[in-house]
Structure 1
Amino acid sequence: MKQKVAIVGSGNIGTDLMIKILKSSEMLEMGVMVGIDPESDGLRLAAERGVAVTHEGLEGLRRLPDYGAIRIVFDATSAGAHLDHAPMLRADGKQVIDLTPAAVGPYVVPVCNIDEHMAAPNMNMVTCGGQATVPIVYAVRRAVDRLIYAEIVASVSSRSAGPGTRANIDEFTQTTGQAIETVGGAERGKAIIILNPAEPPMIMRDSVFTLSQGGDEGAIRASIEEMVAAVQTYVPGYRLKQEVQFERIGEDEPAMIPGIGRVAGLKTSVFLEVEGAADHFAAYAGNLDIMTSAAKAVAERWAQTHAREI
């Protein structure tokens, strides 16, 4: 039996997630699409597909007669809005999957730590850059003795960045950097996002740089390739752009890591691209695709785990 879900936020991310659920989910059923603009494309598309809609935000959702049947609520609004939404949804007993950088609940990256947080009432999906790069950081960490530093650069088409994304740039860098450490396992993490205005729009590309000690290049490369294959099970367009690169940082010219000091080790450089499934937006919007695909995968695992409670 499918579990009913609501999506709060009818922008780019919420709309793409809705299309994915309608198109391919065997565990989830769209219950309500929630927005605040009655003229939004997301609400219009939902109504055209027979999904119940409200343009009165979370309060409008809570007033609907079928609200009690909703078990999972995806929040695809903004970090600030989610801080208001989270306590209300928790009080209502809803399982919350947060697609904003608010980080109220634990960071969840499906291929890294999904099973650790199945009991958490609020699961945070980090950011699109985090979903693309934290798995690589995690893959390096499991193959080395010490992962001193990890830095990621996420470059996305400005066309794929809606108002919610643009309003959350600071939260994006902070949340992604924290996830690099808490989920990826780096002692220090840093995140950078670039909104590229190029025309025609460019595909999402991500660069990951790590500095580690212990472990050998072959083991690191194998761990990364295994992780890429794991992410591809729910994001088929996720791939290495080129071979993994290595560089030895010697004691004679150590790298300066803020908060740690001068250290030697092995620098690993990984270059990725993410092609979207084009379920709703163009294939260049891989940043939307990896975020919504990861959220859908988490919700489906939760639904499967809690199926006996229905």
Structure 2
Amino acid sequence: MAIIGSGNIGTDLMIKVLRLSGSLEPAVMAGIDPDSDGLARARRLKVATTHQGVDGLVKMDEFADVEIVFDATSAGAHRRHDEVLRSLGRTLIDLTPAALGPYVVPPVNGDAHLDAPNVNMVTCGGQATIPVVAAVNAAAPVHYGEIVASIASRSAGPGTRANIDEFTETTSSAIEQVGGARQGKAIIILNPAEPPLIMRDTVHCLVSDCDREAVTASVEEMVGRVQAYVPGYRLKQKVQFDRVRADDPLCGLLPADAIGTTALKVSVFLEVEGAAHYLPAYAGNLDIMTSVALRTAERMAAHRSRERATR
């Protein structure tokens, strides 16, 4: 595999692959800043590098053996990377909000797109919250799902800041397409607090009256599944249920076939602490992205190995 993007996300991903993966080998890291810490670390770790971006990557001898390319740049840059690399038969795992390929949220639909030429990791807020929306939806259809992702300002690099609009649009869409909500909305907050606070996420789901114990059990089971690859992912408190009064404006979000039913607002409060492989522990937003990208690539590699074994 190769990584495009020698910033915080790309560097953390490289270190995760080297430390944790038994099926992936980092062949190349490509960036555009010859003096970046990421490229310097890659060289020290015996990973080939180029500071000429995707154009330099495809010219390298190591590129011949690369099957999977992680894109840890920006939504705008990813569009060109997709044009270049897809035509050369490489699979792209997109860590930007470009969303050119199908959304993948590992604990929800991790095996759904193993043969896709390009898959999208949604956003950090999406990876933290969409599993919960899906868990609630499994027990009670979600009429409306809203998530609020609060991340430390220090952990929001230039790529994140340049892609705020794409973040909200992509996450909102994935809340519906992967999470199962009829309607989705996403909000991101860059928290300037010092010292930096770790990532916090709030999920609100509007449902009709339901079995509260079943919803709680579904959410807790899903949290355990996410913790399998993001150990710092946890509930901050018990799942909350609030009955919505008939005159509450929230009722305006109910679909026609649910109007007149008793509505509940299900609220889930989450915290995501990073593993600190390269990034500080408060940067759980970046850690969850590199963790899901690694898990997705390993599933793709295992799938390809099984296919080759049957030929």
TM-score range, shorter chain: over 0.9
Q: Report 1:119-130 matches (<5 A).
A: 119-130=115-126
Q: State the Cα distance separating 1:106 from its structure 2 match.
A: 0.3
Where do 5+ consecutive residues of structure 1 fail to align? none
Q: Do residues 16 (structure 1) and 12 (structure 2) align?
A: yes
Look up the match of 1:292: 290
Q: State the Cα distance separating 1:253 from its structure 2 match.
A: 3.6
Q: Which moved more, 1:243-252 or 1:26-35?
A: 243-252
* 1:132-176 C-alpha deviation (Å, 9 max, x unpaired): 0000000000001x3110000000011111111111111000000
In structure 1, give the amino acid aligned to 2:239: V
Look up the match of 1:250: 245
Q: Is the 8 A contact 2:144 2:254 kept in 1?
A: no
Q: Report 1:100-119 matches (<5 A).
A: 100-119=96-115
In structure 1, give the amino acid aligned to 2:147: I
Where do 5+ consecutive residues of structure 2 fail to align? none
Q: Do residues 157 (structure 1) and 152 (structure 2) align?
A: yes
Look up the match of 2:161: 166
Look up the match of 2:139: 143
Q: Which moved more, 1:170-179 or 1:112-121?
A: 112-121
Q: State the Cα distance separating 1:24 from its structure 2 match.
A: 1.1
Look up the match of 2:201: 206
Q: State the Cα distance separating 1:95 from its structure 2 match.
A: 1.2
In structure 1, give the amino acid aligned to 2:109: N
Q: Is the 8 A contact 1:107 1:125 kept in 2?
A: yes
Q: Is the 8 A contact 1:149 1:257 kept in 2?
A: no
Q: Do residues 70 (structure 1) and 66 (structure 2) align?
A: yes
In structure 2, give the amino acid aligned to 1:231: V
Query: As a proportion of its length, which structure holds more strand?
Result: 1
In structure 2, give the amino acid aligned to 1:286: G
Partner residue of 1:41 out of 31, 37, 42: 37
Q: How many angstroms apart in 1 are the aligned matches of 2:209 and 2:241?
A: 13
Q: Which moved more, 1:107-116 or 1:208-217?
A: 208-217
* Identical-residue share of aligned pairs (%): 62
Relative to structure 1, the CA distance from residue 158 to residue 217 in structure 2 (aligned partners, 3 Å threshold; closer, same or farther) is same
Q: How many angstroms apart in 2 are the aligned matches of 1:89 and 1:238?
A: 33
* 1:63-91 C-alpha deviation (Å, 9 max, x unpaired): 00121100100001100011111121111
Q: State the Cα distance separating 1:215 from its structure 2 match.
A: 2.8
Look up the match of 2:94: 98
Report the TM-score when normalising by structure 2: 0.95
Number of residue pairs the alignment of both structures matches = 305
Q: State the Cα distance separating 1:185 from its structure 2 match.
A: 0.5
Q: State the Cα distance separating 1:200 from its structure 2 match.
A: 0.5
Relative to structure 1, the CA distance from residue 49 to residue 220 in structure 2 (aligned partners, 3 Å threshold; closer, same or farther) is same
Partner residue of 2:268 out of 244, 247, 270: 270
Report the TM-score when normalising by structure 1: 0.95
Q: How many angstroms apart in 2 are the aligned matches of 1:212 and 1:288?
A: 31
Look up the match of 1:189: 184
Q: State the Cα distance separating 1:119 from its structure 2 match.
A: 1.4
